[in-house]
């Protein structure tokens, strides 16, 4: 049992290390990730400053994290596409555009949540 726990602990630690490395790499190269992070910090500040229910606050915070996750996925898609197809190609354009649309939809979901909470 101790060996299993130790292996799981190492696996979890490796996951944390690799995830942090991914965040740092994207942060260093992606202006849009930095911009979405600022938007999320402002959104979270507002979510805690306003009189929201715990559910409303959780929704706002979770959707903000979803936008950051979508941006990281988009970054990963762009990196792989650029590595495999460095020259302009319709397939590369489609993949990149779909990644961008993923970020846009996640951001739109966050905006809709804010609108419904503030209007309702």
- Residue 53: phi and psi, rounded to 5, are -75, 160
Pair of tokens at residue 19: 């995830």
Burial readout 48-71 (b: 16 or more C-beta within 10 A, e: otherwise): eeeebeeebbebbbebbebbbebb
Other Cβ atoms less than 10 A from the Cβ of 33: the count is 19
30 known ligand binder:
yes
109 known ligand binder:
no
11 known ligand binder:
yes
Active site residue 71: yes
24 known ligand binder:
yes
97 known ligand binder:
yes
**Residue of 8, 56, 71, 79 marked catalytic:** 71
96 known ligand binder:
yes
What residues form the annotated binding site for substrate?
11, 24-27, 57, 71, 100
- Binding-site residue set for ATP: 11, 30, 78, 96-97
- Give the residue numbers annotated as catalytic, written as ranges: 71
> Which amino acids are annotated as binding site for a divalent metal cation, given as ranges?
30, 78
């Amino acid at each position: 049992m101790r060996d299993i726990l130790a292996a799981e602990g190492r696996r979890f630690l490796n996951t944390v290390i690799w995830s942090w490395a991914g965040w740092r790499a994207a942060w260093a190269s992606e202006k849009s990730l930095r911009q979405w992070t600022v938007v999320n910090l402002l959104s979270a500040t507002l979510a805690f400053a306003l009189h929201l229910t715990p559910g409303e606050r959780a929704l706002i915070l979770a959707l903000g994290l979803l936008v950051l996750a979508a941006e990281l996925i988009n970054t990963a898609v762009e990196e792989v596409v650029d590595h495999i197809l460095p020259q302009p190609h319709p397939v590369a354009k489609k993949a990149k555009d779909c990644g961008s649309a993923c970020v846009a939809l996640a951001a739109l979901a966050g905006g809709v949540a804010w609108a419904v909470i503030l209007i309702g």
